[in-house]
Every structure is written in C-alpha cells, then in structure tokens.
Structure 1
Amino acid sequence: MATRLVQINMKARDDSALGAFWAEVLDWEMSTEGPGVTNLEPKDFVYPDPVAVCIDIVVSAEPKTVKNRVHVDLATTSAAHQAQVVARLRDLGATPVNVGQGDVPWTVLADPEGNEFCVLDWHDSTQDTGPIASVVVDCADPGAMARFWGEATDWTVHKVTDQSAVLRSARGVGPYLQFLRTPDVKAGWNRVHLDVRPYPGDDMETEAARLRALGATAIDLGDSTIPWKVFADPEGNEFCLLTPR
C-alpha cells in the first residue's frame, strides 16, 4: 500500500480571487466543488495523475502571520524566460519579498495574499515538470523527512544531503518534492499543506494505521462528517489523507 501526493491545500481570505491569480500564473483551469473552495488543475487533466500536483484553495478567516513552510518553485527555461515570467507575475499582482534569501539566482515573490513562491534560475534541472518545478517544505532534518515521505508515498527518493532531500513520483513525471533545511521553527498551523490519496481499492483505515506506524500523528478536528483524515508528519507539518481514488 502507498499514497500519492495529489495536491497542495492553500488557505485564503478570498479563494476565488487567489484562484484566479494562480490560474493565470500556471495557465490552469479553475473550478469549484462548493462555496469557499477553488480547485486548480491543468487543462484536459484527468485527476489524479502525478504529471501534476493540483492546488485546492480553501477560504479561511485566519490571517497569514509567518512565512509559509510549504511553497512552490516555478520552472523557467532560459534567462530571458525567467525575466519574462517575473515581469508577467508582477503585472498579475505578485510582489518581491525578502525572506532572507540573500544574493541568489532565483527570484522570491509573494502572491496577492502574501504566500511566498520562487521563480527558479533557469540553470536548475527541472525538465518535464510542468510549470511547477517543485513543491518545497521547510524542515529541520531533510534525511528524516525523506525517509518518512518516501515510505508514506510511492515517490522515489532521488537525493539526500545535509541541506536538502528530493523526491519525485515513481513514474518520473511531474514536479519534485523537496525538503529544505531551514532554521525557522514551526509556529501554528501551516497555511499551505500537502494532501495525499491512496490508490483505488485500498482501505483508508489500513492506510491511516500504516502512516501512524511510520511516525505520523493523527489530528482530531472534532468533526466526524469530513471524509478525510488529518495527520502531522514527524516534524509537525499537517497533511490530509484523502479517500482512495
């Protein structure tokens, strides 16, 4: 048994407006499954497929107060393309942001609600990822996170160093999942988190027990009506186990 990383979940004051921004950024289609939820996925996409990690934007009244521990990196193909992407995103409403990155070849921006993301240096190896080159998670121990997430999902661990760990889907398509060592301490609930989903025919309770055995901690939201389960990984990052599909 295993899960798949299928989407990231992002909180927003205005899910529709933020969804419209990211739909323009990624050239993806925007839809909704109900009030307060905006779904983004590539055009003609058959969900789920590791060729893309989709985005769900969910309305929340809680303000953003700290740097997100989960963000996306956008791919570029040349120096000119990187400059064009940054200029276009600023026209769409993105703003430059300083998160202590110093003099780096990539550009750090924030979306209209302050969520940080990076436009990568075109020298980065991001072939065939689609517009999202990687989903990045801040952490204290990249090796430990790679071990957990490599077992929790069927994604393959590609590289582990003292500073970072990189995984990708077993099919070798779509964006990378990167765990990046940072000195920041997690404070409060993550405003952006990962969602994983078991395969069709798998048993959700069995999968939940397997995740707990790997080191995940179950989080009780006190709502028995929701069909998904909420966990925290070994460093306390919340993630959702969705129903098999």
Structure 2
Amino acid sequence: MASHLVELCHRANDPDTLARFWAGLLRREIDGDGRTVLPNEDVEFPIRFEPGATPRTGPNQVHLHLTSESPADQQATVARALELGGRHLDVGQKPEEGHVVLADPEGNEFCVIEAGNAYLAGCGFLGELACDGSQEVGYFWRDALGWPLVWDQDQETAIQSPRGGAKIAWGGPPLSPRTGVNRMYLAVTPAAEEDLRAEVERLVALGASRLDTDGGDASGVTLADPDGNEFRLLPPR
C-alpha cells in the first residue's frame, strides 16, 4: 500500500503572516489554527506553516509554480502577489522567458508560469512543486506515494496523483549543495488500515532513512528520502 500525501509543511519566521500571504495569493481559506492554508478542491493539499525557519544561504530545495490561463491572468497574479507583500526576484532568468520569478515576504522563491504551458496543462492554479533532486528520489516518491511518473527524461522526473492536481518534479543534476534544514517538506500517512511501523519499514526498503534516534513518538516518525530531504510520516488517519 502507498502512503498518502497529507500536506506540504513550510517552516517560517512568521507563520501567521506567511499563511495570510499564500492564502490570499492562492485564494484559499485559512484553518482555525491561523497557519494552515486549506485546499479548495479534493485534488489539492493543505499548506501548513510552522515556526523554525533557518537563515538562508541559497535557494530553497522546493519552490512553487503557479499557472496562468491567459497573459492578463498572469499579470493579475503577479500584481496580487506584489500587493500582498511579495516582490520581483532576479535569479538570472532571461528576458525572453515567459515565466515571472517572485519571492514571498520571507524571500521564498516562486514562479508564475506563462499561459499556454503544455507541461502544466490541467494541473490547477498551484501547478507544481519544483524540487532540486535526483532521478533516484523521483523514483522513490513514485513508489512511496503510488503516483505514476508523468515525466522521466534526461534524469528529470515528475509524478502526479492519478486524480490530478499539482505535479511534484525533480530537476536532476547538478544538485545544489545542502545549506541547512529545508524550509519545505512533505508530511505523509499510511493507508488507514496500515501499521505505522510497517510503513516505516516499507519506506526504508525503498531507500528512505530514519532520522529519529528515539524511535519516533505518537505524532509520527521523521525520515529522509534518498537525497537526504526530511519528510514526516504521520500516524494513520
């Protein structure tokens, strides 16, 4: 049985402020905790903001890609991001490239993709989690979540839920040097009928490693994927 994606967790200096920014940009509601941006549709996943961001010395391992229905829609998304506290970001993009690179109020990169991008067609407004990662880690998450590969070329991989929604993609080599704890990580859970310990063993057999030294606790188990990126296995729900 495969794990289920529960949420994208995002470490922040000010979780409440960052949750408000992303809720406004994605046009989603915030949960009663004030820090979880809820999905609008069942193919979307929550984004939970938590304290604990570490100082940045390089780009994030994960950044988000937002889609556009038209050039005017792209411009409106950019304008909304700027009004909410975002800013333009220069990462060396070329003038002829159609996407717009921005940063949220804490400097986390994201892109507003141009209209007509065939690769993200049908993915929804939050089109992709674009990750720095190897082909091996793409295969790991394919098997961990049971999501099919929708891209596998030149060591770049992407998976997507069979129900649709955002893709999760890994750009292949060269990988950026690790500069500390990732700001974003995935939280997953076993199928309802599965035992947490059995799912840990399955994920380790797929290439994960345990980061807990005390065996975990009632809130779950911390592991790392084959590239060393932390993720959280929560108890069955």
Q: Which moved more, 1:218-227 or 1:200-209?
A: 218-227
Aligned to 2:37: 40
Measure, in 2, the Cα distance between the counterparts of 1:226 and 1:86. 42
The one-letter code sitting in structure 2 at the alignment partner of 1:89 is A
Measure, in 2, the Cα distance between the counterparts of 1:215 and 1:118. 30
Residue 65 of structure 1 deviates from its aligned partner by 3.2
8 Å contact from structure 1 (residues 4, 155) kept in 2:
no
Aligned to 1:145: 137
Aligned to 1:238: 230
The one-letter code sitting in structure 2 at the alignment partner of 1:162 is D
Aligned to 1:107: 100
Residue 240 of structure 1 deviates from its aligned partner by 1.1
Residue 124 of structure 1 deviates from its aligned partner by 1.3
Secondary structure of the equivalent of 1:29? coil
The one-letter code sitting in structure 2 at the alignment partner of 1:27 is R
Measure, in 2, the Cα distance between the counterparts of 1:198 and 1:233. 16
Measure, in 2, the Cα distance between the counterparts of 1:114 and 1:223. 35
Structure 2, gaps ≥5 residues long: none
2:130 corresponds to which of 113, 133, 136: 136
Measure, in 1, the Cα distance between the counterparts of 2:218 and 2:57. 27
Q: Which moved more, 1:114-123 or 1:101-110?
A: 101-110
8 Å contact from structure 1 (residues 105, 120) kept in 2:
yes
Measure, in 1, the Cα distance between the counterparts of 2:223 and 2:153. 26
RMSD, aligned α-carbons: 1.9
8 Å contact from structure 2 (residues 39, 45) kept in 1:
no
Aligned to 1:24: 24
Measure, in 1, the Cα distance between the counterparts of 2:121 and 2:53. 38
8 Å contact from structure 1 (residues 64, 191) kept in 2:
no
Q: Which moved more, 1:205-214 or 1:190-199?
A: 190-199
Residue 227 of structure 1 deviates from its aligned partner by 1.2
Q: Percent identity?
A: 36
Q: Which moved more, 1:217-226 or 1:153-162?
A: 217-226
Residue 6 of structure 1 deviates from its aligned partner by 2.7
Residue 18 of structure 1 deviates from its aligned partner by 0.7
8 Å contact from structure 2 (residues 54, 180) kept in 1:
no
Aligned to 1:185: 177
Q: Write out the 4+ residue segments of structure 1 that deviate beyond 4 Å after TM superposition.
A: 221-226
